Amino acid sequence: MLDDTAPAPKAADQKIRCDACPVMCYIKPGMTGACDRYANDDGELVRVDPHVVLDRTLAQGGNVVPFSRGSDWDGKILSAPETFVTAIGAGTTYPDYKPAPFIVSSQVDGVDMVTVVTEGIFSYCGVKVKIDTDRYLGPEQATVRAQGEAVGHVTTSEYGSQMLSLGGVHHLTGGGKKEGRVTCDALLDLCNGKAVELTIDGGATVLVQAGKAPVVNGVTEERMRVGCGSATIGMFAKQWLGKADEVVVVDDHITGVLSEHQAGKLLDIPDSGIKMKGRRSTPGRYFQVAAPGTGWGGTNITDPLAIIGPFDPKVAKPGLRLFFISTTGEHSAYYELDETLAPVEKPLPADLQASAERVMENCEPALCTVLFVAGAGGSLRAGVTENPVRLTKSVKDALTYVTSGGAPVYVYPGGGITFMVDVTRLPENAFGYVPTPALVAPIEFTLRLSDYEALGGHMAEVRTLDTIGRDDSVRPVAPHQENPWPLTPETAKRSHG
């Protein structure tokens, strides 16, 4: 029988259900949910991480003590237009019918503005990783793995960089449970600036960290190439004039040969009789001189003589000076032809050593770039307006300025609001996760208050800036110096497609 006299359990002693994401955790008192972002505090669901706002006074060397703002302080905790409310730590709109957690109005230069702030839950998201290296990382379309699980693939290489596409809904939710978890962990670490080791099927092992040099097969990259072999010839041909009779710039893609190149012709450099392996493209430009690899110029060679055949005895002369160099200047070698027209290695002359150093000087530092890419779906847009398509149109018409953690984003052309942002432009630890699995990322929409009303915004939920930050859950940080100030989007360098 039930004991009607037993006291009912207190709310503080009970589990509570979190509705911040589709997982809908039941959280014990004093514990956090699976995402470590929400907790049960005496029966109340609370956000664990602080809500981040950008404060321009910090960037100018000020501090956040209110009276430091001047003698005319009006008692407000935050001051517009010096403060921008980001979505970092703001919370989400799940269930989908909820308005965005913060819809904040402020006045900038006499214009009423509003910023709609929410942390999006993105299953349809990923990162594009740009790795500055000529090293061969693996064939296009090869699977990229983290902890042995497939998390993405190699995509087309670009000028001096190798590109990876990681994440996406198929890896997050379309594979096994472990694949989804590992993919989510890798994306979260990359977006929050942590190092992640990736292995590529049929290729290299790469340690990737945003804003840091890549480490390929245990070797830290120092520089990206100055150009392809042909471009390097064009850049430095005049500096080699009179110092060598023939120069070969070794490159996996386009190997350059000075005497045949147009730059050499304009300098009246005579034919050397060199015979290159590979497929000739145009004069002085050769494809496929060697297989891709981690050696000279992104090829698999360690001996530059491997890419040439016998010299033409009708043209070549004993004593001909032959200089090989890679596109980064990292590798170089000097030869002279003997009486049989065979190249004999000699010490590198000082003037050619100086030219190799000049090539290296013109190479930019090798870095890893991590770009977070996601689409703001219908549910997220519903947190901004009751008619979500109007928000899309407003973004395309440049009436609404989109940011992520206050950082400028690139909005892809075409339908929807698919955006891309450099993770190093956001405040630290701006990204979270939910174990569905999905990433949680900040997104803000800033526009004139009148335009917000016109597109059917949640006007009843608009609050003023001075209502934010009445407790310790707000953390002001200085904005990134390279970012435009989000509250003045008309002055921003727009990057919309």
User: How much is the mean pLDDT over the chain?
Assistant: 89
Residue 1 has pLDDT above 50, yes or no: no
Residue 64: pLDDT band with limits 50, 70, 90: very low
Question: Stretch 252-257: mean pLDDT, rounded?
Answer: 95
Percentage of the chain surpassing pLDDT 90? 72
pLDDT at residue 23, as a whole number:
84
Neighbours of 478 (CB within 10 A): 15
Amino acid at 180: G
Question: Stretch 13-41: mean pLDDT, rounded?
Answer: 86
Question: Stretch 212-226: mean pLDDT, rounded?
Answer: 95
Pick the residue with more confidence: 79 or 367?
367
Pick the residue with more confidence: 40 or 8?
40
Residue 424 has pLDDT above 50, yes or no: yes
CB under 8 Å to 492, separation ≥6 — which residues?
A: 401, 408, 484, 485, 486
pLDDT per position as a tens digit, 312-367:
999 999 999 999 999 999 999 999 999 999 999 999 999 999 999 999 999 999 99
Weakest mean pLDDT among 170-174, 300-304, 411-415, 465-469: 465-469
pLDDT at residue 470, as a whole number:
58
| Of 434, 338, 452, residue with least CA distance to 391 | 452
Pick the residue with more confidence: 82 or 404?
404
Question: Stretch 90-97: mean pLDDT, rounded?
Answer: 80
Question: Stretch 166-186: mean pLDDT, rounded?
Answer: 95
pLDDT at residue 325, as a whole number:
98
pTM exceeding 0.85: yes
pLDDT at residue 69, as a whole number:
37
Helix residue spans in 118-176 (DSSP H): 169-172
Residue 4: pLDDT band with limits 50, 70, 90: low
Domain ranges for the chain, please list them. Answer: 11-47, 51-123+377-491, 125-224, 229-361
Residue 495: pLDDT band with limits 50, 70, 90: very low
Pick the residue with more confidence: 36 or 434?
434
